[in-house]
Chain A
Amino acid sequence: MTTADISSTAPSAGAVQFLGKEAAYWRLRIKGAALLVLTLGIYRFWFATDVRRYLWSHTEIGGETLEYTGLATELLGGFLIAIAIVAPLYTAIASTALALETAEAATATIAFLVLVLLGQFALYRARRYRLTRTVFRGVRFDQHGSAWRYACYALLWWTLVMVTLGLAYPWAQATLQRYKMRHTSYGDLPGAFDGSGAALFVRGLPVWLLVVGPILVAFLALGAMVDWDAMNGMMAQGENNPLAVLVGGVGSRAFTVVGAAIGASIAATLLLYPGFQAMLWRWWISGLRFGKVSVTSHLRTAQVYRVYLRFVLYTLLFMVLVTATATLAMYISGAIVGPHRDSALAELAPSAITLGLYVVIALGVSTIYQVVVTFAMWRLGAQSAELSGADILDSVRASGAPSSALGEGLADALGVGGI
């Protein structure tokens, strides 16, 4: 057999595959969740590293798998440095708030903005850590660009998204993705993002109309119902609680209208969410560029609906199981402490069971979500992607160096995700 033979049997350069097995991932997740509880979360650095190693090493592009080279001790180190930054910051915020009690609202707003900025900074730097720990064909990915500038962009755009009730979301995503991808590279191959906000807006507008529309309509209807002249009159008479007057004037009709609108909005959200996710994923993956390499996503909406339907079913099944177990536990604990009703044990048992139940449900549902949704979406996203111009991947020059895990630690300490 010659080298030429090998090349011809290798998968095409543009094929993306995911080799991970769900059963193995279930084991990884369940073991990790159990260790998280026992170590009160200290194990999370090792858990996150294991998960990334598994996902990366089972993602295959053109016959070669990705490799995650990050170490749990790096994450731990990044977290400890982040604590050294965040702990004094929290102390400073708390003591300022105490000293300037008159400017309470202003202090709270400034503190909130500082924390949001720091959170976005952390997310950008965490992405850099993950990229520089991602190796493909002996060459690492890299990310440069100012994390502070990204944080400012993110803050401005998310404010705009809130002000426009979500209408600015497509442009926010497009701008932030462009910033991230423009500063991303694979070796000497520069990244870019080609998705447009307008395209996402056009596709997402029907979803927005069905989710936000009912509430807007309800408020307009509410405005039409109110007798504004009477209301102004009452305000003029010194009534200091306009909300009470408004509610008193419109009465139960208002509650029916608003209630129906919120119900319609929630129903639309639940029904359309998977479809929206499919749209977002297709848009995002199809916008990724590395030099001449471009990606197209063939993700089908029905596939994503199946993923979420499975999540709902598994969660329901899990809740039934937990409820049955908890009822049994209550019954047994009742039988054990029955004769000593006044003891501390009798008082502690219900709250201990409640706390245990909470931890089991929260971790259980999150584990189900991670396997049934996140893992499945990773698989679908990879397998539905198709690379064109991937021949260039044979001749990329290495560049870049590993970065610190500070961003990961900050994101963890601030509770904005990441790990």
Chain B
Amino acid sequence: MTISPNAVYFDGTSSARNDVSVEAGAAGLRILGAHGRVLDEWSYPELRRMSAPDGMLRLGRSGETLLARLEIRDATLIAAIEERAETLDRGGAAERRLRRKVVGLSLAAAASLIVTAIFGLPILAGRIIPFVPLAVERKLGEAINKEVRSAIDTQHLGAAFSCGNGPGENQGRAALDELVGKLAAAAALPERLQVDAVRRSEPNAMALPGGHIYVYDGLIEKAQTPDELAGVLAHEIGHIAHRDGTRIALQTAGLSFLFGMMLGDFVGGGAVVIAARTVLRSSYSRRVESAADAYSVALMEKAGGDPHALAAILARIVSDKEHGIKILLDHPETRDRIAAIDAVTVAGPTTPLLDATGWNALKQICAPLPAKNATTDGGAAR
């Protein structure tokens, strides 16, 4: 007897192609080979739809280690099988339902990770920080210091990048030490403070874990009174007292894990990870900056200086950079910070933390570099 083939059958043990005739019976499919020989019988509940090109129904069996396949292009037969096999995913509807669920759950997971990053990580970092020994923090600070120093010393000045060591700078150094000494005595921190004035023209200062503070020459220039500079220094000491450097390192590690590893870099190039980190870091930094401001106000009051001087120098820096977008991104709430500092009432009169002689010397701490060095270094920079 000859049959009319309406499907192709692979038995899973060999790649031989069998043109078969498939009969959709009451309980399952009968697969008939040449001369009507029954090659196999598949019951409806065990049928599974496999991925196939358009217009083809490709069937496999569930729980089968062999990869037996039945490929059907006959539209009437496909309709008949889909009609009878109730568990067979008709037209892929069940798969689409499952997929919608996957998308929903993924969205929920993404939202949960974002919430964790914004609120959970700072809390976690805050809980871990008390258990980080000062020795580890100092080591971390040294490691960061190497990177930071070479990053901000863009002119490759080396040792000459720090002010206060050259001729004519000694008195400035002494004045800075006096100012830092007063603040350190009032702060009474376990860390030894090491303040470095460096040759950079931006009005900026930064604190590293372990007690290292960089003050840019540009900030010293911008300060009109010793208390203004002291206010900024006290703010940086606040970062050290609150161990914000370690906090940021912990948070950055956590963010790298969440966004770099768990979520996967779906855009490529790591830029989304960096962008997400930058955005979230600035959200952390608002809280951290206002806490350091409050610390500065308290420390200045304790040391006998003017706590409001910090607000004055911040206002001057902001007004100079009114149109610069960068400072706004770095410190989005500078105006709010100034208002908060100004709102604190100060009891009694204050005295400047340095006298006029000391302040004048401090203003000169970064003397112009000797001409010979300047030309060679200029050549290297070019």
Contact = CB atoms under 8 A, between A and B. Distances in A.
Nearest to B282: A351
A224 interface: no
A319 B142 CA distance: 45
A368 interface: no
A41 B264 contact: yes
Interface stretch (A117-125, A137-145, A154-162, A191-199): A137-145
A394 B34 contact: no
Interface stretch (A2-10, A281-289, A309-317): A2-10
A2 B2 contact: yes
A65 B376 CA distance: 69
B328 A247 contact: no
B52 A362 contact: no
Interface string B243-262: 00000000001000101011
Given A58-B53, A98-B140, A138-B12, A36 B19 contact: no
Nearest to A49: B51
B34 A137 contact: no
A245 to B, nearest CB: 8
A38 B262 CA distance: 15
Contact of A135 (B16, B65, B69): B69
Contacts, number: 166
A286 B220 CA distance: 70
B67 interface: yes
A124 to B, nearest CB: 21
A56 interface: yes
Interface size class of B (residues with CB under 8 A): 35 or more
Interface stretch (A171-179, A215-223, A342-350): A342-350
Given A139-B14, A363-B267, A40 B110 contact: yes
Contacts of A69: 50-51, 67
Interface residues of A, number: 71
A233 interface: no
Main secondary structure of the interface of A (DSSP, over half): helix
A248 B272 CA distance: 40
B14 A395 contact: yes
Contacts of A6: 5, 19
Contact of A39 (B2, B107, B140, B143): B107
> What are the nearest 10 A-B pairs in CB distance?
A138-B10, A41-B266, A39-B106, A137-B15, A244-B380, A396-B15, A42-B106, A40-B110, A53-B51, A41-B264
Given A139-B15, A366-B267, 9 more contacts: A3-B19, A42-B109, A101-B142, A138-B66, A187-B15, A244-B376, A355-B275, A358-B275, A398-B66
24 contacts: A3-B19, A7-B19, A19-B53, A41-B263, A42-B263, A44-B266, A60-B53, A65-B52, A67-B50, A69-B50, A69-B51, A139-B12, A241-B376, A244-B380, A342-B335, A344-B333, A347-B332, A348-B332, A355-B275, A358-B275, A359-B272, A362-B269, A363-B266, A398-B66
Interface of A: 1-3, 6-7, 19, 35-44, 46, 53, 56-58, 60, 64-65, 67-69, 72, 83, 86-87, 94, 97-99, 101, 135-140, 187, 241, 243-244, 247-248, 342, 344, 347-348, 350-351, 355, 358-359, 362-363, 366, 393-398, 401, 412-413, 415, 419
